[in-house]
Amino acid sequence: MADPMADLLVRLTDEALADALRDLGRAIAVPRSTAGADDDVAARARARIVADPSLAARSAARSRWSWLGAGRPARLAVGLALLAAVLLAAVAAAGILGVPGIRIALFGAPATVEPGPTASPGTPDRPIGAGAGLGRIVALADVAELTGFEPRLPAGFAPPDVAWLAAARLTLVWAAGPDLPETALDGVGLLVTEFRGRVDAEYYQKVATTGTVVEPVRVAGHAGYWLAGRPHFFFYVDPDGHVVDDTRRWVGDTLIVEADGITYRIESALGRDATVALAEGLTRP
């Protein structure tokens, strides 16, 4: 026997040896930067992904789910009812949901995700929604020209406090108030995101924890989905096939619906029925 300590270890039961190994696992030196530091491994990986569009493009091209969101335009002719049935079958098969232009993938095994510094209550220096990765502020009157579509606004609401534009993704933001409970974004009561749901290439992928409830809903005859519960991440693929990682960390309960080629994402703390009613009232001013 090499030494008394080795002798002692050899004579441990399997269970005690396993415990000793678990103890060892905590004591082994691991060269590492601190998770959360500005230049930690995750941050460096992100920098490489962002700097190399081919990484994202390759990802999109290989998507085995791309038929859901990237079918030929003719697929639209299938009709929403049939599409919903197909998608529900896909849900049953693989846990995937979608509406035209949207892909939702549910990820299991929740990561420990804490809400990060996101939006802040609006101030003259810091308009509502600032810091949430929504893009740049635009005038509502300019949106149609910039995006190529007329935005819809919820009936019975004042005009949005701020309109943000990132690429062709429009996000209208309303401050929380007596009738609009605060969402996961500080000071924000309602977000309505509108973008052209190009059936060819653009779709959303939702990375969610298993605690997220996904429920098919009908919104004025259109297929939609209600996502509620745990925080989730968004990714989407742009018309060039690149995966775009939405810069927002996470949002609250979400209704996603597509109508006339435009996808609407409505986030609020109003609950399902009120959010569906709000979506049904979306009109072009």
Partner 1 sequence: MAYEELVRGHQDLAVRTAHLIAPDGDAEDAVQDAFVKAWAALPRFRAGSPFRPWLLRIVANEARNRRRSAVRRTGLALRVAEDRPSGDAAPSPESAVLATERQATLLAALARLRDEDREIVAARYLLDLSEAEAAETLGLPRGTVKSRLSRAIGRLRAALADGDGATDG
Using CB under 8 A, which residues numbered 100 to 139 contact partner 1? 105-109, 111-113, 116
20 binds partner 1 (CB under 8 A): yes
21 binds partner 1 (CB under 8 A): yes
Using CB under 8 A, which residues numbered 139 to 198 contact partner 1? none
Among residues 102, 108, 134, 110, which one has the least CA distance to residue 236?
Answer: 102
One of 16, 53, 58, 82 touching partner 1 (CB under 8 A): 58
Number of other residues whose CB lies within 10 A of the CB of residue 193: 24
List beta partners, residue 208: 106, 232
38 binds partner 1 (CB under 8 A): no
**Would you say 143 or 244 has its CB closer to partner 1?**
244
In three-state form (DSSP H/G/I as H, E/B as E, the rest C), the secondary structure along 60-86 is HHCCCCHHHHCCCHHHHHHCHHHHHHH
26 binds partner 1 (CB under 8 A): yes
Q: How far apart are CA 35 and CA 216, in angstroms?
A: 37
Among residues 192, 199, 208, 195, which one has the least CA distance to residue 265?
Answer: 192
One of 89, 94, 155, 167 touching partner 1 (CB under 8 A): 94
89 binds partner 1 (CB under 8 A): no
Using CB under 8 A, which residues numbered 230 to 259 contact partner 1? 233-235, 243, 245-250
Span of 3-11, 144-152, 158-166, 267-275 interacting with partner 1 by CB under 8 A: 3-11
**Would you say 25 or 148 has its CB closer to partner 1?**
25
Among residues 98, 135, 132, which one has the least CA distance to residue 115?
Answer: 132
Map tokens 């008394």 to a residue. Answer: 4
